[in-house]
Amino acid sequence: VQAIQNGMAWVYWQDKTWAVSPGEKLGQVTVTGINPQAREVLTSAGTIK
């Protein structure tokens, strides 16, 4: 996780930075939530820190 702001997270994945929000897909996984206090992105496959 590179940054979190206004309900969105910027995640580095496959040599690119992706802006994601809950409900969006990142490859085969779905973003289920964003925890700004812990700087975590929750997905259907686990947590990205």
* Spans of all domains in the chain: 3-48
Over the chain (49 residues), the average pLDDT of each successive run of 10 is 96 94 94 97 96
Nearest to 10 by CA among 45, 37, 36: 36
The pLDDT of residue 27 = 87
Nearest to 48 by CA among 6, 7, 13: 13
Sheet order of strands, 46-48 included? 25-26, 29-35, 40-43, 46-48
This prediction's pTM: 0.86
